[in-house]
Amino acid sequence: MSGISSTLSERMRTALNEQIKAELDSAYLYLALAAQVEQQNLKGFAHWLRLQWEEELAHALKLYDFLLQRDAAVELKALNEPSFTARTPLEIFTQVLAHEQYITRRINGLYAMAVEEKDYASQTLLQWFIAEQLEEEESARDIMDNLKLVGDSGASLFLLDRELGQRPKEAED
């Protein structure tokens, strides 16, 4: 045997628990943003953001289950109150993209740690998250770019709102 243990290191366990918190904080942020656009009668935007809320919860549970699978302790931390100043759809999706980029940096850091520790199981899990983050950023960027084209009011915004309301719920992996 090469001396590589299937046991999760304390450092990786702590970092994955922190990522669970970050995913739950993300979910909480998306739910708050959904409420913001719902109050503006943008139900399609709210639908999209609520589905994002569900996805972030699923991401947290994926990490939670992974820790348990590795016989590592799960430590749930207190959530942060969602903080944002965005009001218009463009401001909101600009913040969504910035937030997804922040989560991507966190995931990349976790992956680098898993490589450093030769933790192949964590690398495999984190590869899924890396691919997921590419999709998350692309989706947020596409909506933000569309909002730059259509503006924050009018028929085009109405049509974009309707389009976002058609987003299907993602299948579980």
The answer for residues whose C-beta is within 8 angstroms of residue 66's C-beta and 6 or more apart is 16, 122, 125
Helices (H) and strands (E) in the chain, counts: 5, 0
- pTM for the whole thing? 0.91
CB atoms within 10 A of CB 61: 14
Given this model, what pLDDT does residue 171 score? 60
Given this model, what pLDDT does residue 30 score? 97
Q: Alpha carbon of 22 to those of 106, 135, 168, 170, 171: distances in Å?
A: 9, 18, 24, 21, 22
Do 19 and 63 form a contact (C-beta atoms < 8 A)?
yes
The answer for residues whose C-beta is within 8 angstroms of residue 111's C-beta and 6 or more apart is 123, 126, 127, 130
Which among 86, 113, 67 has a CA at the least distance from the CA of 29? 86
Given this model, what pLDDT does residue 170 score? 73
Given this model, what pLDDT does residue 169 score? 81
Given this model, what pLDDT does residue 3 score? 40
Given this model, what pLDDT does residue 25 score? 97
Instruction: Print pLDDT tens along the chain (173 aa).
Output: 344 446 899 999 999 999 999 999 999 999 999 999 999 999 999 999 999 999 999 999 999 999 999 999 999 999 999 998 999 999 999 999 999 999 999 999 999 999 999 999 999 999 999 999 999 999 999 999 999 999 877 888 899 999 999 888 876 55
Residue type, 59: H
Residue type, 99: H
Do 89 and 157 form a contact (C-beta atoms < 8 A)?
yes
CB atoms within 10 A of CB 5: 11
Given this model, what pLDDT does residue 152 score? 79
Residues in the chain: 173
